[in-house]
Structure 1
Amino acid sequence: MQIRCFGYYKNMRVKKFLLVIVMCVGYGIVSLYTAYIMLKQREENHSAPNTRVLSRDLNSVNISAKHVQIWDVGNIGSYLWQDILQGKLPNTERNRWSQSALTLQGFSFWYRQSHNLQPKHAPHFIDDCLILAIDAHDKSTQQNAKAWMDYTLGLEHLLRIGLLVMGEVTCENDWLQPYLKLEKIKFVFLMYDSPIIDNKKVFAWPLGPTPEGNQDLQEQFKSLDISAPRKYTCNFIGTIYPKTSRQNIMDLSNDKVAQKCYFAWRNRFVQTQGKQSFSYQQVISDSDLTISPTCLNSECFRTYEAIALGSIPVIEDIVLPKNCNSTDSAPYALLKKSKAPVMFIKNFEKDLPTFLDEFEALSSYQKVRKRLSLLKWYIGFKMDLQKQFISIVQERFLNPSR
């Protein structure tokens, strides 16, 4: 009996061993085939610079969720994707589409970013909802924006379109008016305070940090010591334009308090990227205050970069250009509405030196409290933007009557 039982268990072990081998071989074959398919798709994507076929990261997508694609064709959607929706920015390459995906509040969002691609290189897709992120801040960028608008409006299967637009710096946006009358256009999030913002179809959206430096900003924040004393009372790094408040800031460099600030001037605008961008952000993170004067428009990237790094923006509270008055609270209507703990000053020449003196007199503890208050507010501000964005997308994309 013992011999028979031993033989029985021995046969069982052999069968289990063979079963494990078969399963491993089968799994290996499936894995190899999957790897082959992925490599093949990768080769196809890299063989043509203007690829139209994009693979999907199935691990990031809820199949039952409503699919909404975000095409960032103006390089202005990274703040929405990374800071507001908390998505991961894809690796970018020139003349290619890059993509990332996330599931949020019942939606599967696909963020697709293009660099220097025209509508004829748009990816094929079968979804009926699309959010188009376009840059239209001047006449030259508006041509590309309209080309993408006309292309997407011509897609028969596309029933609902939302827009994220960097509006015209002058706040005129005349080119956008005809599109607002179209049934397919369900909503517009518009940067810069503009009279066409009605909170019915057109909603205000913050400018956010500069897209080129946003990734550097995230890395800078990781090394931020919030409670440590800061090296400078204030800073301003920027272009000086004659007969503007920026000239007044330059004159401040001789002031007793301002000597504890960091100033760097240039006579013409230069886009800061890479090491320059990181150095610029390092100065901001080393400063209690960041002076944020007007430029071509009242709103600027500097303000949001300062907030993100806990440096309180000192903002020139003047509407510029004059027709950028979406509400009586312009400029920075969104910040004022949400009671941002920043400083607004009407007259830099008269009031800025006094404010710097008063701030310098604060204790280190008081300065840290103000810094923490700013960062805490910013977290809530971004959460509120996410809720508003999801709510509008849900209402306009899922409600058949809209």
Structure 2
Amino acid sequence: MRLTRKRLCSFLIALYCLFSLYAAYHVFFGRSRRTPAVSLRGQRKGAAPARERRGRGRTPARRVSVLGAEQSTLGSEEWNPWEGDEKNEQQHRFKTSLQINKSAKGKPDLHVQIWSKAAIGLYLWEHIFEGLLDPTDVNAQWREGNSVVGRTYYSFITGPAVAPGYFSIDVNNVVLILNGREKTKVFYATQWLLYVQNLVQTQKLQHVAVVLLGNEHCNNEWINQFLKRNGGFVELLFIIYDSPWINGIDVFQWPLGVATYRNFPVVEASWSMLYNERPYLCNFLGTIYENSSRQALMNILKKYENDKLCWVSPREQWQPQETNESLKNYQDALLQSDLTLCPVGVNTECYRIYEACSYGSVPVVEDVMTAGSCGNTSVFHNAPLKLLKSMDAPFIFIKDWKELPAILEKEKTIILQEKIQRRKIFHGHFSSGENMVFGMAFFCLD
């Protein structure tokens, strides 16, 4: 019993660690590699080539730092939706990597399957776990991957063909990744939860965690009934955006990450990315909404003629899909700018923050609350973006775009060597996950 407890107690260290892999890139979020990366100029043709290059024969490197722990009694078996071994084995993982390990000695103690029905699942598996998927074709109906971390075996499935009742269930522990951003997505997500609920009730599944792309206004009441504390079966909920539900016990915040649905690739740091001078102080490529702070930003850039120093390409209408040309243009802007301007949209948190980090461009983030139910400044003094702030993300936070001219003037005085060190922070310290443990927890099951 003691051995089972130890084993299952360590298993719950894994949803925590998973996240730990966020970067600054993620958040933080760049990436350390064992082999030098090829030049991004040769890479930026779209997502597929980048993913393929990560492919065969590579061992992704990732260190995990555990910054905090919570203990909870959940059942007769220990379960942690993301980790796999005891503390003495964590030190071993610091020096090794998340990897597909078919030659691992001994049988894994735990098996966790990740069912991804939202694009954020690719961010989790490819950017955080640094896992591979077969086939590499992003349009495939069924894609899968696996990874052994310590003595925990993770398998990942995604694609349109992954549908309730149309695949076999051979695990006890599942992480379900869902999209709950709008009504149609909520309906689909609810069908999945009802399906999983039946599996739990018929004892085909034992432990369930959910990673949820929440509503941008944080209106997520629909999932409340499925939480274990309310009589449901979801033991852990990892939710995107500053939800007032986040308590560090059974509800944790999850990073938005990059726009994988628009084929934003896994970016590998190259010599030129880290060491070259960049021709632009800042960049902003995005939609300008009427009477928004983005309009104010454009006016300030023009007033101070900083639009000549920055790569600025506004558009009047949002475009949900990227072309190869528009994606390359956007990546070029990130790569060639020292700063990336990140005005708020529907929510303060946006993909641009994480995408800038992947190219070593410092996000200048508009730190203001948006409309809706997100955050609670009376309870959380660091809202919004409390997740990033709690991790001391090295971003520039501003309350008003009137502060921008002074920021750009200061940026002009920073020498290249300082900028190089700053980029290394993004692509080394933060990308390795040393300080990136966003609200995960330890769970010891009786």
**Partners of 1:237 and 1:265 within 8 A in 2:** yes
1:336 aligns with 2:389: yes
1:129 Cα offset (Å): 0.8
- Structure 2 distance, partners of 1:296, 1:172, is 13
Q: 1:118 to 1:179 in 2, by over 3 A?
A: same
1:141 aligns with 2:191: no
Aligned with residue 191 of structure 1, among 204, 222, 240: 240
1:281 Cα offset (Å): 1.4
Q: Which runs of 5+ in 1 are unaligned?
A: 1-56
Q: 1:66 to 1:282 in 2, by over 3 A?
A: same
Q: 1:363 to 1:172 in 2, by over 3 A?
A: same
1:217 Cα offset (Å): 4.0
The aligned amino acid for 2:184 is S
Q: 1:245 to 1:200 in 2, by over 3 A?
A: same
1:115 aligns with 2:160: yes
The aligned amino acid for 2:253 is A
- Structure 2 distance, partners of 1:321, 1:387, is 24
- Corresponding position of 1:266: 315
- Corresponding position of 2:403: 351
**Partners of 1:102 and 1:109 within 8 A in 2:** yes
Aligned with residue 284 of structure 2, among 228, 236, 256: 236
- Corresponding position of 1:12: none
1:231 Cα offset (Å): 1.6
Q: 1:152 to 1:330 in 2, by over 3 A?
A: same
**Partners of 2:127 and 2:266 within 8 A in 1:** no
CA deviation string 1:348-394 (max 9, x = no partner): 1x2112211221232222332332233334225x34546965x54xx
Q: RMSD between aligned alpha carbons?
A: 2.4
- Corresponding position of 1:84: 128
The aligned amino acid for 2:155 is W
What does 1:181-260 correspond to in 2, within 5 Å?
181-213=230-262, 216-218=265-267, 221-222=269-270, 224-254=272-302, 255-260=304-309
The aligned amino acid for 2:145 is S
Q: 1:388 to 1:171 in 2, by over 3 A?
A: closer
Name whichever of 177-186 and 306-315 sits farther off.
177-186
**Partners of 1:340 and 1:377 within 8 A in 2:** no
CA deviation string 1:235-265 (max 9, x = no partner): 0000000111100122134223331100111
The aligned amino acid for 2:382 is S
**Partners of 1:212 and 1:273 within 8 A in 2:** no
- Structure 1 distance, partners of 2:312, 2:257, is 23
**Partners of 1:169 and 1:192 within 8 A in 2:** yes
SS of 2:265's equivalent in the other structure is helix
CA deviation string 1:3-43 (max 9, x = no partner): xxxxxxxxxxxxxxxxxxxxxxxxxxxxxxxxxxxxxxxxx
- Corresponding position of 1:291: 341
Q: 1:93 to 1:353 in 2, by over 3 A?
A: closer
- Corresponding position of 1:171: 218
Which structure has the highest helix share of the two? 1
- Corresponding position of 1:59: 102
**Partners of 2:197 and 2:233 within 8 A in 1:** yes
- Corresponding position of 1:318: 368
**Partners of 2:342 and 2:352 within 8 A in 1:** yes
SS of 1:226's equivalent in the other structure is helix
Instruction: Provide the TM-score with structure 1 as the length reference.
Output: 0.77
**Partners of 2:225 and 2:232 within 8 A in 1:** no
Aligned with residue 352 of structure 2, among 290, 302, 307: 302
Instruction: Provide the TM-score with structure 2 as the length reference.
Output: 0.70
Q: Alignment identity in percent?
A: 28
**Partners of 1:66 and 1:106 within 8 A in 2:** yes
1:134 Cα offset (Å): 0.5
- Corresponding position of 2:421: 369
1:154 Cα offset (Å): 0.8
**Partners of 1:75 and 1:115 within 8 A in 2:** no
1:59 Cα offset (Å): 2.8
- Structure 2 distance, partners of 1:359, 1:324, is 32
The aligned amino acid for 1:300 is C
Q: 1:264 to 1:237 in 2, by over 3 A?
A: same
Aligned with residue 142 of structure 2, among 94, 97, 103: 97
Query: Rg: which structure is higher?
Result: 1
Name whichever of 62-71 and 300-309 sits farther off.
62-71
CA deviation string 1:257-298 (max 9, x = no partner): 331100111111112435122321121011100000100000
Number of aligned residue pairs: give it: 335
The aligned amino acid for 1:267 is E
- Structure 2 distance, partners of 1:388, 1:107, is 21
Q: Which runs of 5+ in 2 are unaligned?
A: 1-99
SS of 1:218's equivalent in the other structure is coil
Q: 1:65 to 1:383 in 2, by over 3 A?
A: farther
SS of 1:86's equivalent in the other structure is coil
The aligned amino acid for 1:226 is L
- Corresponding position of 1:277: 327
The aligned amino acid for 1:320 is T
